[in-house]
C-alpha cells in the first residue's frame, strides 16, 4: 500500500514560511495544528478530538503525525505502512489536513519536541499548536523537554472522560506559570481506546467496527489486521 501523497516538507522548503494571506492583502502568522499518536487503529474518538481541536484553533494547516515508536507505549505490532494508510481517514475533516510519515521515517522512538522543532524550521513564521488528550496533559511534565514544548507550541486539550475538568484546569494554571498556553477544545468526551478496540477486533466482536471510520473498517477487513492479536 502506497503512503498518502501529501506530506510536510523538509525543513526550510516550505513556500509560505508560515504566513497566511488575509483578504485585504496583508499577512499573519499561519496557525498550524499538530495531532500525533500511534493511531493503531485510528477511530472515531480520534476524529472527534481532532475536529474539536480544529474548531478551537481554526488552523490554516493540520499535520496528522503517526508515531514511529512513542516513548510512553510499547512498539506497535501493526506495520507503520498500515497505520499510515489508515490515517487517510483524517482527510475527511478538511482540505488543510495533511498526513505525514516524518516520525515513522526517523526510526526509533518518536519525541514530540523533535517534531515541533522540525515544524518550526519548516514554517518559521507559524504559530504552532499541539493537540493532546486530557490524560496527556495531566502527565505533561513527564514528557521529554516539556519546557521546550511550551516554548514551541500552545497546547490544545480535548477531554477524554467526563469529570476531569477541575484537574485539567489546575494543570493548565500550573503550566501557565511556566510560560505555557493551554486552550480547551469543547467537545463531548468520546470514550474509546485503540487497545480496547484491538482486543475486541481480535475476539471477533463485529460491533467494534462501528467505532471506526468506514474507510478504516474496510482497510482492516481487507488486510486482516488485528485478527491474531492476543
Q: Could you tell me the domains of the chain?
A: 19-191 (3.40.50.620)
Cα distance between residue 221 and residue 230, in whole Å: 18
Lowest mean pLDDT among 30-44, 100-114, 153-167: 153-167
Residue range 1-28: mean pLDDT, rounded: 56
Say if CB 80 and CB 51 are below 8 A apart. no
The grid coordinates listed for 105 are: 521515517
Q: What is the pLDDT of residue 216?
A: 98
The grid coordinates listed for 1 are: 500500500
Q: What is the pLDDT of residue 10?
A: 41
Cα distance between residue 180 and residue 82, in whole Å: 35
Assess whether pLDDT exceeds 60 at residue 95.
yes
Share above pLDDT 90 across residues of the chain, in percent, rounded to a whole number: 71
Secondary-structure breakdown of the chain: helix, strand, coil percentages, each rounded to the nearest 5: 40, 20, 40
pLDDT band at residue 159 using 50, 70 and 90 as cut-offs? confident
Q: Bridge-partner residues for 132, per DSSP? A: 157
Cα distance between residue 213 and residue 146, in whole Å: 32
17 against 18, higher pLDDT: 18
Assess whether pLDDT exceeds 60 at residue 87.
yes
Share above pLDDT 70 across residues of the chain, in percent, rounded to a whole number: 85
Amino acid at each position: 500500500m502506497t503512503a498518502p501523497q501529501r506530506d510536510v516538507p523538509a525543513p526550510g522548503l516550505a513556500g509560505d514560511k508560515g504566513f497566511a494571506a488575509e483578504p485585504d492583502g496583508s499577512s499573519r502568522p499561519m496557525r498550524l495544528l499538530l495531532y500525533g499518536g500511534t493511531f493503531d487503529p485510528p477511530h472515531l474518538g480520534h476524529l472527534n478530538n481532532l475536529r474539536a481541536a480544529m474548531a478551537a484553533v481554526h488552523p490554516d494547516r493540520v499535520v496528522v503525525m503517526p508515531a514511529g515508536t512513542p516513548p510512553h507505549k510499547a512498539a506497535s505490532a501493526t506495520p507503520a505502512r498500515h497505520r499510515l494508510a489508515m490515517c487517510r481517514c483524517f482527510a475527511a475533516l478538511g482540505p488543510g489536513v495533511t498526513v505525514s510519515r516524518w516520525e515513522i521515517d526517523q526510526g526509533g522512538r518518536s519525541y514530540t519536541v523533535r517534531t515541533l522543532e522540525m515544524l518550526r524550521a519548516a514554517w518559521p513564521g507559524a504559530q504552532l499548536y499541539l493537540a493532546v488528550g486530557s490524560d496527556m496533559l495531566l502527565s505533561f511534565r513527564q514528557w521529554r523537554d516539556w519546557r521546550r514544548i511550551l516554548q514551541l507550541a500552545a497546547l490544545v486539550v480535548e477531554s477524554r472522560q467526563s469529570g476531569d475538568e477541575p484537574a485539567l484546569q489546575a494543570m493548565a494554571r500550573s503550566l501557565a506559570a511556566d510560560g505555557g498556553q493551554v486552550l480547551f477544545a469543547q467537545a463531548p468526551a468520546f470514550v474509546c481506546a485503540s487497545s480496547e478496540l484491538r482486543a475486541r477486533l481480535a475476539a471477533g466482536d463485529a460491533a467494534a467496527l462501528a467505532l471506526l471510520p468506514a474507510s478504516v473498517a474496510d482497510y482492516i477487513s481487507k488486510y486482516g489486521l488485528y485478527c491474531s492479536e492476543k
